[in-house]
């Protein structure tokens, strides 16, 4: 009887060691995946959009060039804004379309100086994308996060005369 009890007690530490090793690997993997996901959520790549310095500067540029103004209301804490910055604003096709056809201006909703612009266009929270004529009259707008196809569709002028005859 002593032999069987000593044999079972010698197997127990080996089983415990395997069990402990499994959980240690599990939690280490969980930590690495969690950190990678957190980095991905907060990572925003640089973009090549020629942002105007302010709304007033964008209006002056638009008046001089006759191009419409693209207003993008955003905030540092806004998750859909970060997703758009990663998936839409960093895209080369979007960059080319925006830089060629618009005067883009990035408006931080947390900046107190942005309050008059937010009040003028009745923006409650980000993300909001508005296209205005050079005089500042809103032509088209979308609220919420947009994907690349929806954003490129927003950039296209709505012209009813282009429909089939």
Say if residue 28's pLDDT is above 80. yes
Q: DSSP label at 110?
A: T
What is the average pLDDT score of the chain? 84
On whether the pTM is more than 0.75, the answer is no
Question: Strands 138-143, 128-132: parallel, antiparallel or unpaired by DSSP?
Answer: antiparallel
The secondary structure of 30-89 as a DSSP string is HHHHHHHHHHHHH---------BSSHHHHHHHHHHH-PPEEEEEE-TT-HHHHHHIIIII
| Cβ-Cβ contacts under 8 Å for 52 (sequence gap 6 or more) | 58, 61, 103, 104, 105
pLDDT value for 153 = 92
DSSP 112: G
| Separation of alpha carbons 23 and 31, rounded Å | 12
Q: What is residue 164's predicted lDDT score, i.e. its pLDDT?
A: 41
Q: What is the CA radius of gyration of the chain?
A: 27
């Amino acid at each position: 009887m002593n032999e069987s009890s000593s044999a079972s007690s010698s197997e127990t530490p080996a089983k415990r060691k395997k069990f402990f090793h499994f959980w240690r690997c599990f939690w280490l993997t969980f930590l690495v995946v969690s950190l990678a996901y957190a980095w991905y959520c907060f990572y925003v790549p640089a973009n090549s959009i020629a942002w105007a310095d302010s709304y007033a500067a964008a209006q002056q540029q638009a008046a001089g060039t006759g191009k419409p103004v693209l207003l993008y209301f955003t905030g540092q804490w806004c998750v859909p804004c970060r997703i758009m910055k990663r998936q839409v604003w960093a895209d080369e096709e979007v960059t080319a379309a925006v830089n060629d056809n618009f005067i883009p201006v990035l408006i931080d909703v947390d900046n107190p100086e942005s309050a008059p612009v937010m009040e003028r266009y009745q923006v409650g929270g980000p993300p909001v994308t508005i296209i205005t004529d050079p005089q500042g009259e809103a032509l088209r707008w979308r609220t919420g996060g947009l994907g690349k196809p929806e954003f490129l569709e927003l950039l296209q002028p709505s012209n009813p005369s282009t429909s089939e005859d």
